[in-house]
Amino acid sequence: MKLAVVTGNPHKVKEVAAYFAGILEVEHVPFESPECRHEDVGVIAEEKARYAWEALRRPLIVDDTGFYVTALNGFPGPYAAYVQDTIGNEGILKLVDGIEDRSAYFETAIAFVRGGVTRIFRGRIEGVLVQPRGSEGFGYDPIFEVGGKTLAEIPLADKSQISHRARALRAFGEWLEADSMADDRVRPDDNS
């Protein structure tokens, strides 16, 4: 199976290709699905994937990532990118100023479509909000601490082992391996 990674972001494709090296052929398809509003990144990824499937009709994945701050009722959630571009890390820290609960998590959902059947795989990483440290990564990485280090203090190679996207990819990879051992055919009635 040749897997289309449907995204505008070539960095995502590299991460997927690195993960499946020797197992799966991966191809970047820069197709733009409209991105609908929902608080669950799984639903967003699924809708984008279905849209892409209608246009492309080939095995593909689409992902979506959210950033959820507990004390802010999950804000910024699926709007992580827009919020990063407007109020940024400074805004997030201002919002939790004086609040004790600093817990937050990233969640990535990967939607995989083959033969019209969609499956969702999720990966999550839990941490706490801190003052910015480190220069690796991007976005919320400098203010998100896991096990004593911010994601911006963890080299990319190590981050790629523990990140929300890595965990979602692993869940997908494990399912794919089990599925291909069980039955290599496409099963359109297997819509869970």
Active site residues: 64
How many residues touch a second copy (CB under 8 A)? 22
Residue 43 is a binding residue for a second copy (CB under 8 A): no
* Alpha-carbon gap, residue 164 to 150, rounded angstroms: 14
**Six-digit token string for 147:** 């096990």
Q: Tell me how far, at minimum, the Cβ of 70 lies from a second copy, in Å.
A: 11
> Which among 41, 36, 100, 49 is positioned nearest to 65, based on CA atoms?
41
Question: Is 166:123 a contact under the CB 8 Å cutoff?
Answer: yes
Draw the binding track, 85-124, toward a second copy (x: CB under 8 A; -: no contact): xxx---x--xx-x---------------------------
> Which among 114, 85, 84 is positioned nearest to 185, based on CA atoms?
114
Residue 79 is a binding residue for a second copy (CB under 8 A): yes
Residue whose CB is less far from a second copy, 49 or 83: 83
Of residues 73, 147, 181, 192, which one binds a second copy by CB under 8 A? 73
> Which among 70, 71, 74, 80 is positioned nearest to 141, based on CA atoms?
80
Q: C-alpha distances in angstroms, 126 versus 18, 88, 107, 139, 174?
A: 24, 20, 9, 16, 22
Q: Tell me how far, at minimum, the Cβ of 157 lies from a second copy, in Å.
A: 32
Residue whose CB is less far from a second copy, 16 or 52: 52
Residue 77 is a binding residue for a second copy (CB under 8 A): yes
Q: Tell me how far, at minimum, the Cβ of 138 lies from a second copy, in Å.
A: 18
> Which among 75, 62, 47 is positioned nearest to 16, based on CA atoms?
62
Residue 188 is a binding residue for a second copy (CB under 8 A): no
Positions touching a second copy (CB under 8 A) are 34-37, 39, 47, 72-77, 79, 82-83, 85-87, 91, 94-95, 97
